Chains A and B, each alone.
Chain A
Amino acid sequence: MDSAKVTDAPVVKKRKTASLTAKKARVGWVFVLPFIIGLIILYIGVIIESIEYSFATYTTIPAVKGGGYSLTWVGLENYANILPKTVNTETGETFIEMMFTGFGSQIIEVVAIILLSLFLAVILNQKMIGRAAFRAIFFLPVVVGAGIIAQIDFSNALLESMSSTEAISTGAVQTSAMSAMVDAMDISMLFQNLGFGSELVEVVTTLVGNIYDIVNRAGVQMLIFLAGLQSISPSIYESCQMEGATAWEMFWKITLPMISPMILANAVYTVIDSFTAESNNVMTYILSLGSSVSPSGQQAAAAWSYFIVVIVMLVLAYLILGRVIYYDRRNDS
Chain B
Amino acid sequence: MKKIKLSNVLITLLLLLLVIVSLLPVYWTLNTSFKVNSEIYNMKPSLWPKKPTVQSYIDLVVKRNFLPSLWNSFFVSFIVSVGSVAISAFAGYAFARLDFRGKQILSNSVLYSYLMPRSVLFIPLYMLVTTFGLRDNLMGLIVIYPTITIPYATWMLTSYFRTIPLAIEEAAEIDGCGRIRSMIQVVFPLAKPGLAATTIFAFTLCWSEYMYALVIITRSETRTITLALANMVVGDVFAWGPMMAGSIVATIPILLIYMISSKNMVSGLTVGAVK
Binding partners A and B: no
A interface vs B, CB < 8 Å?
none
B interface vs A, CB < 8 Å?
none
